[in-house]
Amino acid sequence: MTQAPPAASGLLSRALADARSPRVPRTVPYLPERAFPWGEPGLHPAGAGGGVDLDRVLRLSLAAPRNAGGRLRPVASAGGLHPVRAHLLVGPGCSLPPGRYAYDPRAHRAHPRGRAPADAPPGAVVVLTVTAARTVAHYGHRAWPLLLLDAGHAAAAVALAAAPADVRVSLDADGEDLAAAAGLPRAADQQTRWPGVEPELPLAALWLPSADGVVPSPAPLTAWAALPCAVAPLPHPGADNAPPRELAASRHLLTYLVAGTDATWHPAARPTPVTDETLRTRRSAAPSDLAHPPAPDLLARVLATAEGARPDGPDWAAAVGGDAPGLLTTAGLLASGDARPTLAQWAAGQRWIGTAGAVLLAHGCPADAPPSLIRRSHLAAGYAAGIAQAHATALGLRSRPIGSWLQADLGAALGDAPGHDWIVHGLALAGPSDPPLPAPPPLPGKEERP
């Protein structure tokens, strides 16, 4: 485990202020998704039994099945860019043989990257990483908080798919511990060990223990981290075709954020009535489909789910309009008045938010927050939004995550001291539209004409 450099906190504070500022990003044309970089033949995750069915878990969370319009993934991502990758550390009791694997979501295959340690914990550890280039190309200096949110959404997707089995989620494990466990080089050794390969930055991990009554170990990464670095991916020319200054800065910032912390593992749960079918069908709605207010009782249930998803996450509130506009929390009314027009301005000018049925808001993360709080706030906000979006889908509500927030100092807007309570993430909600009224019957004595 390493400690972040002393200057990291100041660097991150400045970068956070810049990401929240109205400065227009410097971007490049759209970068296409690159081919999966591991060339070894992949294994189908459905094997001969085992307590952890990785085929089911991955199909319901990260797989990208092809349909008539291309490929749709069941997990939300800023700009539809999907920068998150998954490394599977498979021990005894799984549908894949023990070993390290890289997961290809397009082919739904697990590519072997090395053996498992003799003392591998039962079940599977999933290490989530991000590649930054495509998101930076699209969002510039605003990209790195969005990468954290994306990783949180992916962690929620895996946790929901693995439930109701025992699932543990860590959003604060040390980055070098995660890299070592996944068989990736340390950030400082990346260019030397794997030249020409786009770096993967590890951000989160999940442990799916096998269903044999074994109590989860508090340190499921330890045995894996003792192994040497695993099989390298194939180099990819042009992997850094994003604005070079912003790309380098984003990678450095994310490396600082994950340095020097001890992992805590929190249990995950699937809200009722979320089912496997919910996970197969959940999708973000178009902005034009989000204007109808959700029923108050359903809104309250989804808000409670977001609030309770992570004990270490930010606070949540809901902005509503209608006859009694206000900002609601699970404890009651936080402020009166319609906040949605202001939210539309803060959310990078997305005007549709001003008429959204309701908007859930994750808020906190002060301007001078330490690196660990910045990381945890964004990962936990993405995680909670992912859980809440699945719950909303199961309740018949439409939803759409909102990741970009500029100058969104909620505390200052409510009369508190500036800089202490910022919006980190959002989730727009809407109920189904009212069915059209039936046509009135014809007047007596009048014939209807075709």
CB 316 within 8 A of CB 329: yes
Predicted pLDDT at 442? 63
pLDDT at site 5 = 52
Give the DSSP H/E element, type plus range, for residue 144. Answer: helix 143-162
For the chain, give every domain's residue range.
8-26+47-267, 284-430
CA distance 85 to 14: 28
| pLDDT for the residue numbered 418 | 97
Domain 284-430 has CATH 3.40.109.10: yes
Residue with tokens 């039936």: 438
Tell me, what's the pLDDT at 50?
Answer: 73
CA atoms within a 13 Å half-sphere pointing along the CA-CB vector of 84: 34
pLDDT tens for 120-130 read: 999 999 999 99
Residue 448: the pLDDT is 39
CATH 3.40.109 fits 8-26+47-267, yes or no: yes
Report pLDDT for 449.
37
What stretches in the chain show pLDDT beneath 50?
Answer: 4, 6, 68, 446-450
What per-residue confidence (pLDDT) applies to 59? 95
CA dist 84 and 155 (Å) reads 10
Q: What angle do CA 404, 410, 414 make, to 5 degrees?
A: 160
Give every CB contact of residue 49 below 8 A, 6+ residues apart in sequence: 95
Are 8-26+47-267 and 284-430 the same fold in CATH?
yes
Q: What angle do CA 417, 420, 424 make, to 5 degrees?
A: 135
What is the value of pTM for the model shown?
0.93
